[in-house]
Structure 1
Amino acid sequence: MNQTPYILVLFYSRHGSVNEMAKHIARGVNKVNDIEVKIRQVPDVSDSTKVASPAIPEEGAPYCTLDELAECTGLAIGSPSYFGSMAAPLKHFIDQTSTLWLTGRLIDKPACGFTSASTMHGGQEQCIHSMMTPLLHHGMVWVGLPYRNKELINTATGGTPYGASHLANNTNETTLTEDEKALCEAQGKRIAEFALQLKK
């Protein structure tokens, strides 16, 4: 039995804004017929030997498995920007994907990235680059946001051609602007369309 193609929206969110972005990415995916969406998060990691997170999250999306990543038709990956790089929990998850690299499970599948930072120059674009790099090593095809999305020109907050972003006024700010929401949904729709085209 053939599985319905799906976009995996995979993220780490510490204060909630990346989680909110993931929901809008998923809404964009849902605008495209013949493809589904799975929203998954990664658990925290610890700097000691203690267990950092329970096996099942107390709230929000389920944790992602390597099988879910391997079987996706396309990937939207998100993280807060920490000093211009993805958060350690997401990097830790990606570092466990060498078996997928060895078997070529992600080759020619489209991927995109999204991020949030609490300052205008908090490294949003560089954070997206940090998520892009290992996915290019996996042979994935990066899908950005074209300027036909007028919100890229109009926005005074988040939004980049490399992928959707959110500018939080403070660390706990999770409310997206209308431009940020529109760009997230445009990105979700675009990755879904590319996934179906590349699957043919």
Structure 2
Amino acid sequence: MKNIVVVFHSGYGHTQRMAQAVAEGAGAELLAIDADGNLPEGGWETLNAADAIIMGSPTYMGSVSWQFKKFADASSKVWFTQGWKDKLFAGFTNSASVNGDKSSTLSYLVTLAMQHSGVWVGQGMMPANTKAAQRNDVNYLGTYIGAMAQSPSDAGAADMLPGDLETARLFGKRVADVAAKFQA
């Protein structure tokens, strides 16, 4: 089993629920970025030891949260030495709107991974895009680059759709499966 870490920021609990589902699927450790944009004690060491890093952030104003951006900017110390080169990376996000510019957030995460000379793992599942599709189907939002979820602005984290959480869990499993293929 590969060492997989899910590093994430969650403002209202929705992204945390997604992170938990991703971690369940991947057999991964959770590493939360706090409200001030900091990792817990030992967080950088945990990421340095990881074989795969799955990043998660809510989509706010078309990008990652400022807390996640602070973490990303702080990762420039690792970037300078290419300390995460050839690690697997993946990402996920949640927003209140069905579109909500979540693709911009996932593109930001891809760019961050590429700057670290990482290898990106996409969603790897077909979208639910037929006439028979229901909002609670797996990958109903039809993403390929990473996992997406949508939570109405007046809904708590406990109200997240099971289909979005199952999409997140299957995404985590995909990252773990790809990581297993990269074992030497």
TM-score > 0.5 by shorter chain: yes
CA offset digits 1:163-195 (Å, max 9, x no partner):
111111125432332321221111101111222
CA distance in 1, matches of 2:33, 2:56: 10
CA distance in 1, matches of 2:22, 2:12: 18
Identity across matched positions, percent: 25
Shift of 1:142: 1.0
Match of 2:81 in 1: 103
Match of 1:66 in 2: 44
RMSD of the alignment, in Å? 2.3
Q: TM-score, normalised by structure 2?
A: 0.85
Number of residue pairs aligned between Structure 1 and Structure 2 = 177
Shift of 1:152: 6.9
CA distance in 2, matches of 1:91, 1:137: 14
Q: Secondary structure at the residue paired with 2:30? A: strand
Whether the 8 Å contact between 1:108 and 1:198 is mirrored in structure 2 is no
Q: Secondary structure at the residue paired with 1:115? A: strand
Shift of 1:75: 1.1
- In the TM superposition, 1:60-139 aligns within 5 A as 65-139=43-117
Q: TM-score, normalised by structure 1?
A: 0.79
Match of 1:41 in 2: 32
Which of the residues 9, 23, 29 maps onto 2:20? 23
Shift of 1:76: 1.0
Whether the 8 Å contact between 1:112 and 1:144 is mirrored in structure 2 is yes
CA distance in 2, matches of 1:171, 1:83: 17
CA offset digits 1:87-137 (Å, max 9, x no partner):
011110111112321222211111111111011231111111112111111
Whether the 8 Å contact between 1:159 and 1:183 is mirrored in structure 2 is no
Whether the 8 Å contact between 1:152 and 1:160 is mirrored in structure 2 is no
CA distance in 2, matches of 1:20, 1:117: 13
Q: Assess, with a 3 A threshold, how the Cα gap between structure 1 residues 159 and 63 changes in structure 2: closer, same or farther.
A: farther
Q: Secondary structure at the residue paired with 1:147? A: coil
CA distance in 2, matches of 1:90, 1:64: 17
Whether the 8 Å contact between 2:94 and 2:149 is mirrored in structure 1 is yes
Q: Secondary structure at the residue paired with 2:74? A: coil
Q: Which moved more, 1:15-24 or 1:95-104?
A: 95-104
Match of 1:170 in 2: 153
Which of the residues 135, 145, 150 maps onto 2:123? 145
CA distance in 2, matches of 1:189, 1:152: 22
Whether the 8 Å contact between 2:124 and 2:174 is mirrored in structure 1 is no
Q: Assess, with a 3 A threshold, how the Cα gap between structure 1 residues 63 and 145 changes in structure 2: closer, same or farther.
A: farther
Q: Secondary structure at the residue paired with 1:82? A: coil
Instruction: Output the amino acid matched with 1:44.
Output: A
CA distance in 2, matches of 1:171, 1:104: 42
Instruction: Output the amino acid matched with 2:147.
Output: A
Whether the 8 Å contact between 1:41 and 1:64 is mirrored in structure 2 is no
Shift of 1:67: 1.3
Shift of 1:17: 0.5
Q: Which runs of 5+ in 2 are unaligned?
A: none
